Amino acid sequence: MTEAAPGAVASASLWERDEELAAVREAVDALREDHASRGSLLVFSGEAGIGKTALLGETRRMAEALGCTVWAARGGETVTSVPFNVVRQLLQPALVSLMPDEAREYLGDWYGIAGPALGIAEPGDRQADPQGVCDGLVAAVTRLARRCWPLVLLVDDAHWADQETLQWLAAFTERLTEQSVLVVVAHRPGEAGGERARHLDAVAAAAARPAAMLSALTPEATAGLTRATVGAQADAPFCREVWAVTGGNPYETVELLAKVQDSGLEPVEGSATELRALNRSARGRGLVARLEGLGIDATRFAWAAAILGTGISVDLVATLATMRREDAARCAGLLTAARILSPTDPAARRPGGSATASWSSSTR
């Protein structure tokens, strides 16, 4: 977005994303036109902190507001070797809503093949053929998509998705013309290797339009974001310096401006030296150090949230982390204020709300 109202810092990563958001809106509208409409695929690529997660978050908000069902999942750097981890995340909303008999009915002959991969059936005596499992998952998701139309599937940090998920995703997106579903994938270029890279390349190749490479903020957008954050008194040289030291990276810009606010630094040309020092400290303090500064309970909550993935609730994290609900809610507030956890539902900001949230540490 090229402009934002004062204080609209939560949407910082959406500045100058008009073209990408228009493509999303067009794809969602096309999906909703007809139950028999052809599926489509959008791929967004870019470096860490460039705003891919924010773009997928806005895609979710937009699609849900227009009556779509949205399932989301996210790859993780520490779980790339866990088979079917991301596809299980993705299908969790559908799987938990089905009784065992319903799951058997929807999956049909594929139940015994795809069920074990999804964790809803015990493995058989014979190990299933990997290609057969992939085909079974394609069939399973196709049937679930018909049940939940209009359906939008979001896969964030696909460069960290497990090989089995990427193999399924490549096969599924290749057959999108046969099903009415919108798939949106975000990844960092050059991060995946081996078979995972090959499958990810196949996913990108299945898109009707080339992958959209997200660019850094321009000096003008950085100036607008700076003034929206620290105030209209920020002078032009100061805004230019913010852009120079962050390279227009949205995440780094938001982190630096938060430091400016916390330190009370005057946003004028004479503060350039202090601004560069703040930027070094913002870059140098890693996630682990930030978590340790928030205390043991907040760290336990954060790691539990990271394991569960996206769209998780405070109650679910509290159960996994063996914490009292009130302690978990307090930790969610601390982590949100520290910009480690990002709320995805208005309830997250209401006292006593259900507080769904998505883990956002890997947007760096």
pLDDT tens-digit profile of 344-353? 543 333 323 3
- For the record, the structure tokens of 153 come out as 């599937």
Cα 183 from Cα 194, distance rounded (Å): 23
Cα 295 from Cα 128, distance rounded (Å): 45
Percent of the chain with pLDDT over 70: 83
Q: What pLDDT score was predicted for residue 38?
A: 85
* Helix residue ranges, H only, the chain: 18-33, 52-65, 85-97, 100-107, 111-118, 130-147, 163-174, 194-206, 219-230, 236-246, 250-263, 272-284, 287-294, 296-308, 314-320, 325-337
Range with the poorest average pLDDT among 209-218, 300-309, 354-363: 354-363
Cα 288 from Cα 341, distance rounded (Å): 14
Judged against a pLDDT cut of 70, whether residue 292 lies above it is answered with no
> 163 pairs with which residues across the strands?
none
| Closest among 134, 213, 224, 229 to 175, alpha carbons compared | 134
Q: What pLDDT score was predicted for residue 345?
A: 40
* Helix residue ranges, H only, 207-271: 219-230, 236-246, 250-263
User: 188-197: per-residue pLDDT in tens?
Assistant: 999 998 999 9
Q: What pLDDT score was predicted for residue 114?
A: 82
The better pLDDT of the pair 111, 28 is held by 28
Using CA atoms in the order 309, 311, 316, 320, what is the torsion angle rounded to 10 degrees?
10
DSSP H or E run through 184: strand 181-187
Cα 199 from Cα 169, distance rounded (Å): 8
> CB neighbours (10 Å) of residue 128?
17
Cα 162 from Cα 170, distance rounded (Å): 12
Cα 235 from Cα 270, distance rounded (Å): 10
Q: What pLDDT score was predicted for residue 64?
A: 94
Range with the poorest average pLDDT among 172-186, 230-244, 298-312: 298-312
- For the record, the structure tokens of 283 come out as 């870059």
Cα 3 from Cα 228, distance rounded (Å): 9
Choosing among 3.40.50.10240, 3.40.50.300, 1.10.357.10, 3.40.190.10, the CATH entry for 17-213 is 3.40.50.300
Give phi and psi for 234, each to the nearest 5.
Answer: -60, 120
Q: Which of 80-84, 128-132, 166-170, 254-258 has the highest mean pLDDT?
A: 166-170
Q: What pLDDT score was predicted for residue 163?
A: 95
Choosing among 1.10.10.10, 1.20.1070.10, 3.30.930.10, 3.40.50.1100, the CATH entry for 287-363 is 1.10.10.10
Percent of the chain with pLDDT over 90: 43
Judged against a pLDDT cut of 70, whether residue 8 lies above it is answered with no
| pLDDT (average), residues 25-49 | 91
The better pLDDT of the pair 4, 229 is held by 229
On whether the CB atoms of residues 74 and 310 are closer than 8 A, the answer is: yes
At residue 20, what is the residue type?
A: E
Q: What pLDDT score was predicted for residue 124?
A: 65
